Structure 1
Amino acid sequence: MARYARISEIEYELPDRVLDNEMLAREFPEWDVDKIFQKTGINERRIVADDETASDLAFRACEKLFAHSTTSRDDIDCLIYCTQSPDYMLPATACILQHRLGLPQHCAAFDFNQGCSGFIYGLGLAKGFIESGQCRNVLLITADTYSRYINPKDKSVRTLFGDGAAATLIQASDQAQPSLERFRYGSDGAGASNLIVPMGGARRPLVAGQVPDEYGDDSGNVRSDANLYMNGSAIFEFSMTQVPKLFASLFDEHFTVEHSDLFAFHQANQFMLDALRRRLKLPAEKFITEFRHCGNTVSSSIPVALKEALNKGQIQRGHAITAVGFGVGYSWGGCVIRW
């Protein structure tokens, strides 16, 4: 009997600490509250506490999911953890989460580092595990805490990114619908330096006690090579070039843009999403935007948006949702989620 992969549950978790536009405006007097919102479309971001990690958010998102799901923890046979904020260089944080969540020891567990397109890649991995007969219940977790990498004096990224985690349960079904379909992927490492934390890995390790020098840019932002750097104009150019190509590849004579009930793109910021929506000529009422309350949560931005749309009744059974992730790497991916 054929197996098909489908999403059955989504939950997400945000930290308690709030960084709102009023707080940022006090720190950056040249940017008032309205200017920050006009540039980003974001009212507030959630930031982890000093003793809180991405896996703590991931754990709480999973606990929410199990509290509402009819699926037992004992039924989970694969845990996939997408993060760019691991607890340790080794071991894999997925293994730590397997134990902490009380999942069975026959559960596979692994990390992968993907960022903004990570949810799409994770869905593709889950689909492969399920439809090849290796697993029946896959727990996909996305969690990032970019605030750990951001210099507080760098408003170019501090105004955009928020911390968060999401847990998505993908299950096997003998029915062709709902389903996960039409996966497309791409990458271009030539753009790696345009969204990067230059120091801290094996290529440029941080020596114990080392405090890298800070430097400023022409816009007055301050950072060191141990902080997150984003070349905003290059990221925008990449997105406006590759996302339309990716988007077009998801459609053909059997499934057209008009057949898609909703569009869920990586929730980068308002300026980026508005530009893409206009370029692709997509109706605003079909375009999910859910980041005002949390900012750009990187790998969790699409599942957070999907959960919010579900809560509002925007997603209905039978809907086809075109999902598109893009960003750090450069990396991009898209698929169609039939609900």
Structure 2
Amino acid sequence: MKTCIKALAYYLPETVVTNEQLVEEFPEWTVEKIAAKVGVNQRHIARDETISDMAVKAGEKMFVDYPEVNKEEVDFVILCTQSPDYFLPSTACIVQRRLGLRTACGAFDFNLGCSGYEYGLAIAKGLIAGGIAKNILLLTSEAYNKHIHSRDKGNRTIFGDGATATLVSTDGFAEIGDFILGTDGSGAEELIVKTGGMAYPEKAHDLEYDENGNPHSSDHLFMNGAEIFNFTLKVVPSMVKDTLAVNGLEKDDVDLFVFHQANRFMLNHLRKKLKIDEDKFFINMDNIGNTVSSTVPIALCDAKDAGRLRGSILIAGFGVGLSWGACMLKIR
């Protein structure tokens, strides 16, 4: 049985933070430096919105953009987030009610970051293959800015917030191929919010500043940029090679590569390392930022609108976990 992407939409919060605004807070930086360093000119921030708020708006937009999709046919909701509304219940349950989906509908969250979309597609494909569901609403909704310290200029320049909605079904415009998935938990602390869970439920209040004035705290997002960069350079080339192999393809067979939009420097480095032509490599983070699990579906949406989704598409996510995942999409 085939598994396909049938509908795709995204939502970005109304609040926008530009590089000019960040420079007002951090005068030691310049607009040009931020743009050159991470490739982001502005990012959307979920100031007064929750993960469920954004997921609902992405879902509602999908149903408007694809009127042929019937809400009554959705029989499963899976939501990827690392900023849930509550420890319990699952945010997916809240979204199911707010979207007006039928109660004969499974729903759960899964906690994954930059590779979350690829894992979500794999879960959805498995549900369909197992005869458990036929029309799965895959949601990604993330607000890393809620985890970032206000003086953390490095991470504030990179991350934006946003949500996406994808309907995975037995028919659609993009057939989902085979996957390569991987995990290396030895790097778990390289990208982490240490307190707040059951391991460290109380805030540590251990805020310190390094020699460059950057804050470090167990109570906020910590990212070891150098280690994440090294991890990416190590796993992505082999992941791409293995994804092509498992789908019986060569690199030249791919019409477009859509990678997790981590930052422009990293993406360009990967593109050159993999010897991918610029016209086959999609980057759209300039006015969006790194929206974690939402970057790939947002990029797919924009590429579709630009008429660039054709033939064979390789999508790949990599980051927090440490975790990675990729698959092929065949545009029909």
Q: Are residue 337 (structure 1) and residue 329 (structure 2) matched?
A: yes
In the alignment, the residues of structure 2 paired with residue 295 and residue 48 of structure 1 have an alpha-carbon distance, to the nearest angstrom, of 13
Q: What's the secondary structure of 1:110's corresponding residue? A: strand
Q: Are residue 301 (structure 1) and residue 295 (structure 2) matched?
A: yes
Normalising by structure 2, report the TM-score: 0.96
One-letter amino acid matched to 1:97 = V
Q: Are residue 184 (structure 1) and residue 187 (structure 2) matched?
A: no
One-letter amino acid matched to 2:226 = S
Q: What's the secondary structure of 1:238's corresponding residue? A: helix
Residue of structure 1 equivalent to 2:259 = 265
In the alignment, the residues of structure 2 paired with residue 287 and residue 74 of structure 1 have an alpha-carbon distance, to the nearest angstrom, of 37
In the alignment, the residues of structure 2 paired with residue 326 and residue 211 of structure 1 have an alpha-carbon distance, to the nearest angstrom, of 29
One-letter amino acid matched to 2:195 = M
Residue of structure 2 equivalent to 1:243 = 236
Pair 105,34 (structure 1): closer, same or farther in 2 beyond 3 Å: same
Residue by residue over 1:223-276, the C-alpha shift from the partner in whole angstroms, topping out at 9 and shown as x without a partner, is: 421100000000000000011111110123931111111000000000110110
Contact 1:214 1:222 in 2 (8 A): yes
Residue of structure 1 equivalent to 2:223 = 230
Normalising by structure 1, report the TM-score: 0.94
Q: What's the secondary structure of 1:290's corresponding residue? A: coil
Residue of structure 2 equivalent to 1:26 = 24
One-letter amino acid matched to 1:55 = S
Q: Which among 139, 142, 149 is matched to residue 141 of structure 1? A: 139
Pair 178,168 (structure 1): closer, same or farther in 2 beyond 3 Å: closer
1:211 deviates by 7.1
1:218 deviates by 3.2
Please list, as runs of the form range in 1=range in 2, the aligned pairs for 1:289-328 lying within 5 A after superposition: 289-316=283-310, 319-328=311-320
In the alignment, the residues of structure 2 paired with residue 220 and residue 52 of structure 1 have an alpha-carbon distance, to the nearest angstrom, of 29
Residue by residue over 1:31-77, the C-alpha shift from the partner in whole angstroms, topping out at 9 and shown as x without a partner, is: 1000000001000010012x311111110000001112211111000
Contact 2:174 2:330 in 1 (8 A): yes
Say how many residue pairs are matched: 329
| Comparing 215-224 and 243-252, the one that deviates more | 215-224
In the alignment, the residues of structure 1 paired with residue 186 and residue 129 of structure 2 have an alpha-carbon distance, to the nearest angstrom, of 33
One-letter amino acid matched to 2:56 = F
Residue of structure 2 equivalent to 1:87 = 85
Q: Are residue 217 (structure 1) and residue 210 (structure 2) matched?
A: yes
One-letter amino acid matched to 2:205 = P
One-letter amino acid matched to 2:110 = F
Residue of structure 1 equivalent to 2:268 = 274
In the alignment, the residues of structure 2 paired with residue 39 and residue 217 of structure 1 have an alpha-carbon distance, to the nearest angstrom, of 20
In the alignment, the residues of structure 1 paired with residue 69 and residue 221 of structure 2 have an alpha-carbon distance, to the nearest angstrom, of 38
1:178 deviates by 4.3
In the alignment, the residues of structure 1 paired with residue 221 and residue 312 of structure 2 have an alpha-carbon distance, to the nearest angstrom, of 35
5+ residue gaps in structure 2?
A: none
1:102 deviates by 0.7
Q: Which among 282, 304, 320 is matched to residue 288 of structure 1? A: 282
Contact 1:45 1:163 in 2 (8 A): yes
5+ residue gaps in structure 1?
A: none
Q: What's the secondary structure of 2:317's corresponding residue? A: strand
| Comparing 142-151 and 124-133, the one that deviates more | 124-133
In the alignment, the residues of structure 2 paired with residue 211 and residue 80 of structure 1 have an alpha-carbon distance, to the nearest angstrom, of 32
Contact 1:131 1:172 in 2 (8 A): no
Please list, as runs of the form range in 1=range in 2, the aligned pairs for 1:105-120 lying within 5 A after superposition: 105-120=103-118
Pair 332,87 (structure 1): closer, same or farther in 2 beyond 3 Å: same
1:25 deviates by 1.1
Contact 2:204 2:218 in 1 (8 A): no
In the alignment, the residues of structure 2 paired with residue 105 and residue 10 of structure 1 have an alpha-carbon distance, to the nearest angstrom, of 23
One-letter amino acid matched to 2:320 = V
Residue of structure 1 equivalent to 2:59 = 62
1:312 deviates by 1.0
One-letter amino acid matched to 1:43 = N
| Comparing 261-270 and 19-28, the one that deviates more | 19-28
In the alignment, the residues of structure 2 paired with residue 66 and residue 112 of structure 1 have an alpha-carbon distance, to the nearest angstrom, of 23
Contact 2:80 2:110 in 1 (8 A): yes
Residue of structure 2 equivalent to 1:203 = 199
Q: What's the secondary structure of 2:3's corresponding residue? A: strand
Q: What's the secondary structure of 2:146's corresponding residue? A: helix
Give every structure 1 segment of 4 or more consecutive aligned residues whose post-TM-superposition deviation is greater than 2 Å.
none
Residue of structure 1 equivalent to 2:190 = 194
